Structures are given as structure tokens and as C-alpha cells.
Amino acid sequence: MTSRRVLSIVLTISWTLSGFANEMRAQEEDSDVTAARLPVTRVILYKNGVGYFEHSGKVRGNQDVNIEFTTAQLNDVLKSLTVLDFGKGRITNVGYNSTAPLERRLGALRLPVGEKPTTPQFLEALRGARIEVHDGAISAAGRLLSVDEREIPGKGDQKITVDQISLISDNGEVREFDLNPSTSVRLVEKDVRQEVGKYLKLVASARDQDVRRMNISTAGEGERNFLVSYISEVPVWKCTYRIVIPKDGKPLLQGWAIVDNTVGEDWKNVELSLVAGAPQSFIQEISQPYYARRPVVPLPENAMSTPQTYEATLEDREGEVVSELTAAKVSGVPGGVAGGVMGGVMGRSPSTGVPPPAPAFDATIAAEALESSTTVAQTKDLGDLFQYKLKDRVTIGKNQSAMVPILESRIAAEKVSVWNPANNSVSRALWIDNGKDLTLDSGSFSVMEGDAFAGEGLTEAIKPGEKRLMSYATDLGLVVDAKQKSENEKVTRIVVSHGALIQTTEEREERTYTVRNRDISGRSVLIEHPIREGWKLVKSVEPAESTANFYRFRLNADAKKTSTLTVKEYRPIAKRYEINNLNDDMVALFVNQKSINHGLENALRGILARKNAIAALDAELGSYKEKTVAIIEDQQRLRENMKALKGSAEEKSLVERYAREMNEQEDRVQSLRKALEEAKQKREAAQKSLNQEIAALQFDVAPQE
């Protein structure tokens, strides 16, 4: 039985890279000294998940500017980067580290090693290189020949596999060494050591692959102001509101924004603006190196061939950046709004040596304290967008989050109860009447009323001057019952014009809402009645307002009482009948429905009489045609008989008789044709007269009661 012993091999590749290392270190130190790092000074966050960033500061002479980004940011930065030198200077170059796959970058080395080689694999890649091997007191120098595995006896029948290296000395001697913890290998050749150094540097750079360092090279004279701006993908900022309802006066609305800094750099004392809007933006991976696949075309032995060109194929590589969001400190936000508010709400107790009683929350005092102590943002309408610009600068650490105050205002709001048929429940809501100068972004809100939390909910964006219901709790004091009653269709109008009769009927329905208020306080109730296509309200009760899907009817429900609301609707239905297609049964139905008056009834019956006369003429024409066809068929029979009599003894007598019959039949045919022509003319005249009468018929009548 064979097993593999896992050896902890200490491979000491001891070569002198001090010159190379010192040179690289000097370059990095020199870069740190001469390059300027511009801090973030201004941030504007949008609702579509992008942010606008500004870095500003000063540069001197030919000083470079370094800015770090994450890989997720780089694509947006490359398509939006704007660099401004406000002095006597110019931008000479903008460079950044590429992210070609490590496998492709390693392939450019002369060292055939993968990303994660084992010690034997690494040594195998160095075959042919000059090395020195030390194993305790034994040492040898020469060129690496091979790295092999061999088995050595273990305990019992077991065998152990070990790695063994072979080298050839300068005098041609082949030496073998087992790779064990006491074995060390030294690379002798300088170019091999340098190639290994490049390999290790590339492998080390893969650990920092999410950091992109952009270097902006400048050329100019003296000290100058410098600005760099760009957009970047950022988490969407969120809104949350507090509504404090005092006993008297308008409720206080306070808005907060939740902001996340995931761009890989601290925001220190930045000017922050939040925009409620979504300008168009997209993702395009222009920072990703793309490689075209080219065919390998072999060359013939005796002639050179010209490679054909083929359609290029691009290789897309997608990555995912996961950001960790934590809490952050915000400069400019009052030191603990809750603390400041509670100080004003709770009041103070005289120093008596006895601990003051636990204070209670009071919404009226809280509204006054919040209104006087909170710093909010300046609001500005930008057309399709709306901006909250914070008055105080803020500080949010890298990969941290914060809540910042954006607005505070007294608002006109009515507390109502809302019933909706979808969930058949009653909700407590605030009917907000937004001011003319304020845009509220979508988000969550909490309501404080009296001495406690009253509820919370969600709201969509509210434009200036717009009214909006904001539901925050269930109203357990109200019970609403809805019952529907339908009526039979009723004819409302008959219109006769252009040869058609149009009958308009109405389908009527009424829905009665019964509201029982079990509470000791009255309610202002909004009943949401569905808007249905084709249905119209009977103008008896006007809705307070209408939405895309509901009428909202207001109903006052007094304490401990029952109130009702009846909503009546109708749907007009039009039916079209061609006058020329009417019959006696249909006219009788109109008469029984009392949908036509006597004048229209007489006109319709007169038309039916003319239609019957024309029908009689049609029957007469049909009779003439049938008789004519019968005579012609009989004449054909006689002609066939006469042909059959040729050469017979009876031919003469029968032919004379058949000839007399055919003469008589021909006289009858002529008479029938004359009668048929007269009947046709009569029929045409009657039809023309009927058509004129139908076209001239005009009626617009209401149904008889």
C-alpha cells in the first residue's frame, strides 16, 4: 500500500536582490514625495445609484496627482473624468494600473509557473538554471537537471513518496538530493533571480487587485488650484421622515437621509448634496482590457501565405464588488438629536436630592424642540430634479454610513381614516397638503402623537402643491360594510337617423357603505370607491378627490354612531338597429318597453307596410320567373320529341300538333315577360320610395314613463 507523506519543505531561495529592491523602494518613496493627493471636497448623490465627486487642492510645478479608486468605480471614472488646472499648467497624461488577468500577465514572463505552484512545480520551471544545494553538511553546485518522485520504505509494508532534485556539476557529476525541511536551494544566475522577482511581484499585486491608482501628470509653473471631478456608482441614498403631531397647530415634518460611503476614501469635511431624481446613466466596462481572438495560420514549406482576417470576438468579464456598510459620525449634525430633543421635552427638576420622576414624551414640546435645534438642508428645484444641499459640511469614513438631516417644515395635514375595498380594513392616515416650495422624496416615515409612537409607513415622492394620503396605522374603532344593488337595464333614449335606430340603455348600480364608529371620538372617513371603465357617477354625491383608480368620498362618522354613504353609478349601452332590417316582432318589443312614442311607432309600422308590399312584389316576380322557366323547359321537351319522330309514320301528324303547342307556349312566354317587366318597374319604384322615406326619418325620443 502506497501513501504520500506531506513534507513541510523550507525552500530558501537566497539570492541578492538588494539592488532591485532598493531601486523599487526609492521609486515608491520618490513618488510619495512628489505626488499630490487631493481630498474629496464635494459629493452629490443621485437616486439612480450614481454620485458626482469633486477632489480639489493645489499642485506645484510638474507635480503629479494620485487618486485611488476601486475596480467598480473605474469604468464610471473613465467615461466622466474631468480635470481642470486653474493656473499656468496643463495635463500631460492620465494613467492607471491595468487589470489584465494574472494568468495572461504571468504568461508574458520567461518563467513557466502558474499562480499557485508547489515547491516541486516551481523548481521544475527552473530546469537548466545554475543552483547551489545544501543539505546539512553536504552541498553541491551545478545546473538543475530534473525534479522527480521516488518511493522509500516506511513502516511495515507502507511506502513513502518523496520529491528528489537532480543536478549536473561542472565536471559532469550527477548529484541527487531529497527535498526535506533541511534542504536549501540558492539561485546563482542574476537574470533568473530577476525573473523570479518579477513573478513574485505579480503574484503579490493580485492581492491588491481591487485598488486602481490613477496618476494625473501635470506640467506648469508655480502653485496652482487643481480640480478633478467624475461620477461613480454608489449605493442609493434613502429618505426617512418623522412626523410629530402636536395638540394644536400644524404637524412638524422632519426628513433624514441615509448615506453610504463605499468609494474607498474618507469623506472629510465635504460639501454634501442629495438629489431626488435619476439622470440617465449606464455601465460600460471600458476599463477592461479586451483581446481579439486571432486564428493560427500555418505556413507552407515553400511559400509564404497571407493570413485571412476573421470577425473578432470580445471576451466579457464581469466582477462583483461587495461593500460593507457601518455606522459613521457626521459633522454638522447636532450631537444626538434625540438627546437634544429629550432635553427640551423632559424639562428639568429642581435640586432636591431626590431623583426626578421619569419624564414622558410630549409631541407638542418635541415639535418645538426639533424645530429650534435641527440644522437642515437648503432645498432647490432643478426642473426634473430636486436637490437637498446640506448647510454644514459632513465627515463620513470609508465604508461607513450616516444619517444626515435634509429638511424640517410645518406642513398642512389632516388626520383621517381610510377604507379601501382591496383589504377591507380601515387605516389611520395623514392627508398631507404639501407646500409650494417643497419636494418630498420617497421613503419611510414614523408618526409621533401625544406621548407615544403612533405608527409608520411608506410614501412615494410628493411634488410641490400635491396632496397625498400617508397611512401609518390600523383604525380599530371603525367597522365598514359595503353592499351592492343592481337594477335592470332601462332604455333612456331612442335616436333614428341615417337609416339606423340607436337604442341607448343604462345599467345602474348603487353601493351603500355603512360605517360604525365604536370609538369615543369622531372620525373623518375617506371611502375609496373603485373607478370602473365605462361607469359614470350619478351626480348626487361628489367625491372629495379622484385618483387613477378610486373616487374618494368623505364621510363624517360621529362617536358611537352609524353613518351611511350611497354611491350610484350608471353605464350607458348603445345598440344599433338598421331600419331596413326591422320586423313586426322588434317593433312590438319597442312598444312593450315603452321606449318609442306613437309618432315613431306609426312611422315604423308604415315602413313595415311598404316592406310587406315590396315583399309581395318580390313574390309576384318570382312566380312570373318560375312560370317562364317551366314553359321554356316544356318547349325543350317538345323539340326533343320532334327530333325523335324523324322517319316514323306518325311524324307528320305529331309534328303539326307539337308546333301548335309551341306557338301557344311562345304567346304565353311573351305575356309573362311583359308582366315581369311591369312588376320589376313597380318593385324598383316602391324600393326607391321606401329608401327615401327611411333616409328622411329623424327621431330623438325619450322612453315613455
| From 251-255, 341-345, 454-458, the region with the lowest mean pLDDT | 341-345
**Tell me, what's the pLDDT at 19?**
39
614, containing H or E segment: helix 598-644
103 to 108, 203, 296, 434, 566: CA distances (angstroms): 9, 10, 20, 60, 77
Q: What is the band of 478 on the pLDDT scale with cuts at 50, 70, 90?
A: very high
What's the per-residue H, E or C state across 456-507?
EEEECCECCCCEEEEEEEECCCEEEEEEEEECCCEEEEEEEECCEEEEEEEE
Reply yes or no on whether the pLDDT at 593 is more than 80: no
Give the residue-averaged pLDDT of 537-564. 90
Reply yes or no on whether the pLDDT at 281 is more than 90: no
d(CA 455, CA 463): 23
Neighbours of 545 (CB within 10 A): 14
Q: What is the band of 379 on the pLDDT scale with cuts at 50, 70, 90?
A: low
Look-up of cell digits 412615494: 460
d(CA 599, CA 442): 64
d(CA 378, CA 388): 6
Q: What is the band of 380 on the pLDDT scale with cuts at 50, 70, 90?
A: low
d(CA 580, CA 608): 9
What does 570-587 look like in DSSP terms, one character per residue? EEEEEEEEEGGG--HHHH
Q: What single-letter DSSP state applies at residue 680?
A: H
**Tell me, what's the pLDDT at 25?**
46
**Tell me, what's the pLDDT at 368?**
58
Look-up of cell digits 313597380: 682
Reply yes or no on whether the pLDDT at 204 is more than 60: yes
CB distance 562 to 514 below 8 Å: yes
Q: Do domains 2-34+100-208 and 477-579 have the same CATH topology?
A: no
In percent, the amount of the chain with pLDDT more than 90 equals 15
382, containing H or E segment: strand 377-382
**Tell me, what's the pLDDT at 300?**
56
- Sequence letter at residue 634: D
In percent, the amount of the chain with pLDDT more than 70 equals 76
**Tell me, what's the pLDDT at 13?**
35
Residue 304 C-alpha cell reads as 509564404
What does 528-595 look like in DSSP terms, one character per residue? EEEP-TT-EE-TTS--SEE-SSEEEEEEEE-TT-EEEEEEEEEEEEEEEEEGGG--HHHHHHHHHHT-
| From 66-80, 156-170, 317-331, the region with the lowest mean pLDDT | 317-331
Give the residue-averaged pLDDT of 108-118. 65
Look-up of cell digits 407615544: 452
- pLDDT tens figures, 503-535: 888 889 999 999 999 999 999 999 999 999 989
**Tell me, what's the pLDDT at 325?**
26
- pLDDT tens figures, 136-186: 888 888 888 888 888 877 777 787 888 888 888 888 888 888 888 888 888
Cα 342–chain centre separation: 41
Q: What is the band of 479 on the pLDDT scale with cuts at 50, 70, 90?
A: very high
CB distance 260 to 267 below 8 Å: no
Give the residue-averaged pLDDT of 17-27. 42
How many C-alpha atoms does 101 have within 13 Å on its Cβ side? 12
d(CA 441, CA 461): 4
238 to 276, 387, 409, 471, 597: CA distances (angstroms): 10, 14, 19, 19, 68
**Tell me, what's the pLDDT at 337?**
33
| CATH 1.20.1300 for the 477-579 domain, yes or no | no
Give, to the nearest 10 degrees, the angle between helix 651-696 and helix 598-644: 160
**Tell me, what's the pLDDT at 338?**
34
Give the residue-averaged pLDDT of 353-375. 54
**Tell me, what's the pLDDT at 339?**
32
Beta-bridge partner residues of 501: 496, 577
Give the residue-averaged pLDDT of 225-244. 90
Neighbours of 51 (CB within 10 A): 25
Average per-residue pLDDT in the chain? 77
| From 472-476, 561-565, 597-601, the region with the lowest mean pLDDT | 597-601
Residue 285 C-alpha cell reads as 466596462
The domains of the chain are located at 2-34+100-208, 235-292+325-348+359-473, 477-579, 584-701
| From 175-184, 339-348, 372-381, 506-515, the region with the lowest mean pLDDT | 339-348
CB distance 526 to 419 below 8 Å: yes
Closest CA to 124 of 75, 85, 164, 162: 164
Cα 534–chain centre separation: 31
The residue that leads in pLDDT, 386 or 462, is: 462
**Tell me, what's the pLDDT at 5?**
34
Q: What single-letter DSSP state applies at residue 13?
A: B
Secondary structure (3-state) at 8: coil
d(CA 616, CA 597): 29
**Tell me, what's the pLDDT at 43?**
93
CA angle centred on 81, ends 76 and 86, rounded to 5°: 160
Give, to the nearest 10 degrees, the angle between helix 584-593 and helix 598-644: 170
CATH of 2-34+100-208, one of 3.60.40.10, 2.60.120.1060, 2.30.30.520, 1.10.1200.10: 2.30.30.520
d(CA 204, CA 183): 25
**Sign of the alpha-carbon dihedral angle for 514, 520, 522, 525:** negative
**Tell me, what's the pLDDT at 197?**
77
Residues sharing a CB contact under 8 Å with residue 411, sequence separation 6 or more, in sequence order: 250, 251, 252, 253, 432, 433, 434, 435
Beta strands in 13-158 (DSSP E): 36-37, 40-46, 50-60, 65-70, 82-85, 89-96, 130-135, 138-153
Q: What is the band of 301 on the pLDDT scale with cuts at 50, 70, 90?
A: low
First to last CA, the chain: 110
How many C-alpha atoms does 192 have within 13 Å on its Cβ side? 20
Residue 440 C-alpha cell reads as 418630498
CB distance 571 to 553 below 8 Å: no
Helices (H) and strands (E) in the chain, counts: 10, 36
CA angle centred on 602, ends 600 and 605, rounded to 5°: 105
- pLDDT tens figures, 183-203: 888 888 887 787 787 777 766
**Tell me, what's the pLDDT at 66?**
86
d(CA 187, CA 152): 28
Cα 90–chain centre separation: 42
The residue that leads in pLDDT, 297 or 559, is: 559
Reply yes or no on whether the pLDDT at 586 is more than 80: yes
**Tell me, what's the pLDDT at 202?**
67
The residue that leads in pLDDT, 167 or 34, is: 167
